[in-house]
């Protein structure tokens, strides 16, 4: 990786991303290691989490390192203590920070003031660790990435943004269908389309789920209401009616299409119970691969090629 921090999937070049995926595949087969036995990860969270916290903790432990979890109440990021001060203090104690924040700008300030790597463990703009795990999962089930089509149905949120950029980097087509008021950020769309010109893929943004999934190899959705948007829940459920991934919609995709969801899922809203429990669903493979994708990121930021010489 050419950057100190991992805040956006587009911080990576196409080559960087492919190397990280290769690392993740190898690390998944290797089990526990001692490579980072002298390193400590600080988990700095403004939002609660199941998969993000546990996968990062286990990733660092499986690489031999130590983990410190810092809850919102313990730090009061930007309230009890300024973000620059938190970054400079943690730089004296630990070797890497994984931060889960409400605002992406908070991550950028952490990165600017920290002398150590900062990883985006989720922000309002992107979820790059999820996208890396998703690509790993697709590769495992499809055997390749280039030329495949991923259809994202629902809110053009942080997960959708990272997926659009990730697909463009590896030469996958990305179709997103959202209500007009919840479309993918125009800046992200433009950036993804520029990257796609070099990789030979297509990035399409529309409002009809049926058109988006037609012939798709992967059908992906996410919650209609993310953390911090709870007051909008009733309005969002009404607006997103017709954007549920159900068996009828899945039948329009490729017969061998897989279904993906980053979880937590609201069954009966963005996805039917029948689909998420079907043979095409790989949602728990995705959850598992958060662990291995994050091991790859940590090993690259903290150890580089010395940890996995066979991948170089």
> Looking at the 3D structure of the chain, how many domains does it have?
2
Together in a domain, 118 and 30 = yes
User: 151 lies in which domain range?
Assistant: 130-286
pTM over 0.85? The answer is: yes
Residues 44 and 168 occupy one common structural domain: no
Are 52 and 104 found together in one domain?
A: yes
Reported as a single tens digit per residue, the pLDDT across 15-63 is: 999 999 999 999 999 989 999 999 999 999 998 899 999 999 999 999 9
| Active-site residue flag, 279 | no
pLDDT at residue number 309: 45
Please check whether residues 140 and 58 belong to one and the same domain: no
141 and 245 assigned to the same domain: yes
| Catalytic residue list contains 85 | no
Phi, psi of 137, deg, nearest 5: -65, -45
Residues 151 and 90 placed together within one structural domain of the fold: no
Concerning whether 205 is annotated as a catalytic residue, the answer is no
Return the closest-CA partner of residue 21 out of 292, 305, 310: 292
pLDDT at 304: 61
In a domain? residue 40: yes
Q: Which residues of the chain have pLDDT under 70?
A: 227, 304-312
What pLDDT is stored for residue 92 in this prediction? 98
Catalytic residue among 51, 127, 191, 292: 127
**Active-site position among 23, 95, 134, 222:** 222
User: What is the CATH number for 243?
Assistant: 3.40.50.1370
**Catalytic site includes residue 222:** yes
- The reported pLDDT for the residue numbered 310 is 44
- Whether residue 89 lies inside any domain: the answer is yes
Q: What is the pLDDT of residues 193-215, one digit of tens each?
A: 999 999 999 999 999 999 999 99
pLDDT number for residue 178:
98
């Amino acid at each position: 990786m050419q950057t100190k921090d991992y805040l956006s999937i587009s911080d990576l070049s196409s080559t960087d991303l492919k190397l990280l995926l290769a690392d993740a595949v190898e690390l998944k087969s290797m089990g526990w290691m001692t490579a980072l036995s002298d390193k400590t990860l600080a988990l700095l969270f403004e939002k609660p989490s199941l998969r993000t916290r546990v996968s990062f903790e286990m990733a660092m432990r499986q690489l031999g390192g130590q983990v410190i979890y810092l809850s919102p109440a313990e730090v009061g990021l930007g309230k009890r203590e300024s973000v620059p001060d938190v970054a400079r203090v943690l730089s004296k104690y630990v070797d890497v920070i994984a931060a889960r924040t409400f605002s992406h700008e908070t991550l950028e300030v952490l990165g600017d003031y920290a002398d150590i790597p900062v990883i985006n463990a989720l922000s309002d703009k992107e979820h790059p660790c999820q996208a890396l795990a998703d690509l790993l999962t697709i590769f495992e089930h499809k055997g390749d990435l280039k030329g495949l089509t991923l259809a994202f149905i629902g809110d053009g949120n942080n997960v959708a943004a990272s997926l659009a950029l990730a697909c463009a980097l590896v030469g996958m087509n990305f179709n997103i269908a959202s209500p007009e008021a919840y479309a993918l950020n125009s800046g992200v769309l433009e950036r993804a389309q520029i990257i796609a010109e070099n990789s030979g893929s297509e990035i399409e943004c529309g409002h009809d789920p049926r058109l988006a999934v037609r012939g798709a190899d992967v059908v992906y959705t996410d919650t209609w209401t993310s953390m911090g948007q709870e007051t909008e829940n009733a309005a969002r459920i009404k607006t997103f009616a017709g954007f549920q991934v159900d068996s009828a919609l899945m039948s329009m995709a490729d017969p061998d299409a897989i279904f993906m969801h980053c979880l937590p899922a609201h069954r009966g809203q963005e996805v039917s119970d029948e689909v998420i429990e079907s043979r095409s669903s790989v949602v728990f493979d995705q959850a598992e691969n958060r662990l291995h994708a994050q091991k790859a990121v940590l090993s690259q930021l903290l150890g580089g090629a010395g940890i996995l010489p066979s991948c170089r």
